[in-house]
Structures are given as C-alpha cells and as structure tokens.
Amino acid sequence: MTAQVHVPSLFARVGTASALTFAVTSAMLAPGLVNDAEAATHSTKALKVAASKKGAPYKYGAAGPSRFDCSGLTLYSFKKAGKKLPRTAQQQYNKTRHIPKSQRKRGDLVFFHSGRGVYHVGIYAGSGKIWHSPKSGDVVRLAKIWSKSVWYGRVR
C-alpha cells in the first residue's frame, strides 16, 4: 500500500491575493533577468567557439571558419552563439554595452585602445586572459591582457 502525499499548490499556500502579487511582480522582473541570463549564455557559447579555434592562423580581413583577424574571430564566435556583431573592432565597441573592469565576466569583449580609437579586440576568458587572433604570422590563442589601455563591452 502506497501513502499518498498531498502537496498544496502555490496559490493554496500563499493565498490568492499573495499569489496574484507574486505573479504580477515576477512578470515585471523576469524580462530583465531573462535578458541577463540570455546574454550570459550567448557570451559563454561565444567564448567556447573562440577557444575551439585555437591554432587557427591570423589573416587580415578574415572572419572564419579557418582563418581570422581579431574582430573576425569575435564576429564569428558570437554569430555561432546567435548574436550579430558589426565587422570592425571599433564598430563592435560602439555596439556593446560598456562596463567597468570590476564588472567584466567571461565572454565579455575586451577592446584595446589608443586614445579614443579601438585597434584590437578579444573575448575575456577570466583570470586576466583573452582569446584573440593577434597579428599576421600568429594564431588564435589564449593570452594575458598586456595593456592597461582596455575597455570592456558586453554583447546585448
């Protein structure tokens, strides 16, 4: 003989008025939470795509699938993760949500700049490192951030 256990529904436990308040409040908060979670998912996927391209040769103007320049790697990685980015590092910077270093997360973009101009981009991998396609004669690789002249952007 199996004992049946009755678990009251959320509405029965908190009362109709409280459940209605909960439903309305959740509906107002959920869109922002979903967007942040969705952004994290896209960024994580893009980071994995970039890492999977380890050793792919640099080629100026290339955006994959087997050769990349810096912004070509970020464009390709986020495209595979379901997000569209413009072509150049500067355009990508202009399109992202700018964030301070203290808020950077794995999958955010790291923009290297001189004055007000962006000249290089990579994907933040954590621990002060990025995946990037550095320069002619080099390959996609994980590298330590070598400059303090960087800005951070989160793909929306």
Q: Which positions are catalytic?
A: 70, 120, 132
Q: Which of 132, 105, 112 is nearest to 41 (CA)?
A: 105
The pair of three-digit structure tokens given for residue 92, joined into one six-digit string? 């990508």
* Contact of 111 with 91, CB cutoff 8 Å: no
Alpha helices (H) in the chain, listed in sequence order: 10-14, 16-52, 70-80, 89-95
Side chain identity, residue 135? K
Beta-carbon contacts of 94 under 8 Å, excluding residues fewer than 6 positions away, are 86
- Which string of b and e fits 13-22 if b means at least 16 CB within 10 Å? eeeeeeeeee
